[in-house]
Amino acid sequence: MLNLQRSPLADPLTTPPSSPHTANLLPSSISGFLAGTAFSAWTRSSLAGAPRAGVTLSLLTTSLQLATNELDLLRIHLLAWGEARQALTLASPPPSFAQAGLAEGQAAPPTYTRDISQKTPNVPSRETFSERSDRLIGSAWNWTTDRIGRLSPMKKMDTAEYVDKLEGRRREVLDEREKIRREVHEVEKALGR
């Protein structure tokens, strides 16, 4: 009979870390130390300062791994938050007669609900992980650019407004050009040319 239970003497390198904040920190620091030491020894042709370079690269790779872990956790929290928000909006029950302010015999206004069983791109249970990530990151990007756009002194203009501004500037330049041409003509006339 096949035993499917996990061994109590599991390999410490393959078991998941106790905290996702510290995932892969030890392998990153060891590989950084070995790579830094080997590269320093190879470029200097001596082992004199090699361990110091290894420690420096080890600290750098550990810091990068820690930052990556935190960004990954933030991404997971944002995805979970977005799914919870969308699940609340999709699962909101229709109002009862008392909540809608209707009497028992009075007809309720039509409600428009979406069939969750259809395969639509914004139903969380039907999306893949990458689609959900793209949707949430795109939503966050649009929200951020909208907020920055409101605070920015430069405003976005549509094509018609841009063409009108260009035509106005063109008229100003032509008027200025005509004025300069008249002044040049008057100066030449005064000089007798």
Largest CA distance in the chain: 118
**Residue 106 corresponds to which tokens in the numbers above?**
């009075």
The DSSP secondary-structure symbol of 164 reads: H
pLDDT attached to residue 61: 92
Query: What is the CB neighbour count within 10 angstroms for residue 100?
Result: 12
**Residue 63 corresponds to which tokens in the numbers above?**
């810091």
Nearest to 58 by CA among 37, 29, 26: 29
Q: What is the pLDDT of residues 9-57, one digit of tens each?
A: 555 556 555 677 788 888 899 999 999 899 888 888 777 778 888 899 8
Angle made by CA atoms 55, 61, 62, in degrees to the nearest 5: 85
pLDDT attached to residue 77: 84
Helix, strand or coil, per DSSP, at residue 28: helix
pTM of the entire predicted model: 0.40
**Residue 18 corresponds to which tokens in the numbers above?**
């106790």
Q: Which residues of the chain have pLDDT under 70?
A: 1-18, 90-126
Domain boundaries, the chain: 20-90, 123-156, 157-193
Please count the CA atoms within 13 angstroms of the CA of 57 that sit on its side-chain side.
18
The CA distance from 17 to 9, in Å, is: 15
Buried-state track 135-162, b at ≥16 Cβ within 10 A, e below 16: bbeeeeeeeeeeeeeeeeeeeeeeeeee
Residue keyed to tokens 């003509």:
185
pLDDT attached to residue 94: 54
pLDDT attached to residue 112: 47
